[in-house]
Amino acid sequence: MPELTNQNFKQSRSLYYNLKLLANNKETSHLISIQKLEKRFFLAEENKPVQGIYFILKGKVKIYNTEINQKTKIFSLAAKGDIIGLSSLNATNYWSSAVALDEVSAYFINTNNLKYILKNNSELSLLFIDALALKLHDDEIRQWYLNLFPAPERVIEALLLIASKFGEVTESGIEISDCIVRGEIASLANVSVENTIRIVSTLNLKNYILVEHKKIIIKNREELINQLKQFCCLHKLPNAKTCYFDVFY
What residues contact 6, with CB distance under 8 A and at least 6 apart?
12
pLDDT band at 62 (very low <50, low <70, confident <90, very high): very high
Q: CA quadruple 228, 232, 233, 238: dihedral positive or negative?
A: negative
Is residue 219 within 8 Å of 230, Cβ to Cβ?
Answer: no
Residue 54 has pLDDT above 90, yes or no: yes
Higher pLDDT, 98 or 131: 98
User: In which residue ranges of the chain is CATH 1.10.10.10 found?
Assistant: 149-248
Residue 219 has pLDDT above 70, yes or no: yes
Mean pLDDT of 35-60: 96
Residue 9 has pLDDT above 90, yes or no: no
Among residues 65, 74, 61, the alpha carbon closest in space to that of 187 is found at 74
| 90 secondary structure, DSSP code | T
Least confident of 135-144, 179-188, 199-208: 135-144
Residue 182 has pLDDT above 80, yes or no: yes
Mean pLDDT of 218-222: 95
Q: What is the pLDDT of residue 180?
A: 93
CA 199 vs. chain centroid, Å, equals 23
User: In which residue ranges of the chain is CATH 2.60.120.10 found?
Assistant: 9-135
Q: What is the pLDDT of residue 237?
A: 74
Q: What is the pLDDT of residue 233?
A: 84
For the chain, give the mean pLDDT.
Answer: 89
In the beta sheet, which residues pair with residue 130?
none
Q: What is the pLDDT of residue 239?
A: 59
Q: What is the pLDDT of residue 163?
A: 95
Domain 9-135 has CATH 3.40.630.90: no
pLDDT band at 243 (very low <50, low <70, confident <90, very high): low
Domain 149-248 has CATH 1.10.10.10: yes
| Whole-angstrom distance, CA of residue 45 vs CA of residue 154 | 27
| Whole-angstrom distance, CA of residue 240 vs CA of residue 231 | 9
| Whole-angstrom distance, CA of residue 138 vs CA of residue 243 | 12
pTM over 0.85: yes
Q: What is the pLDDT of residue 242?
A: 52
Higher pLDDT, 6 or 208: 208
Per the rule left: phi > 0, alpha: psi between -120 and 50, beta: everything else, 224 is alpha
Mean pLDDT of 56-70: 90
Q: What is the pLDDT of residue 232?
A: 87
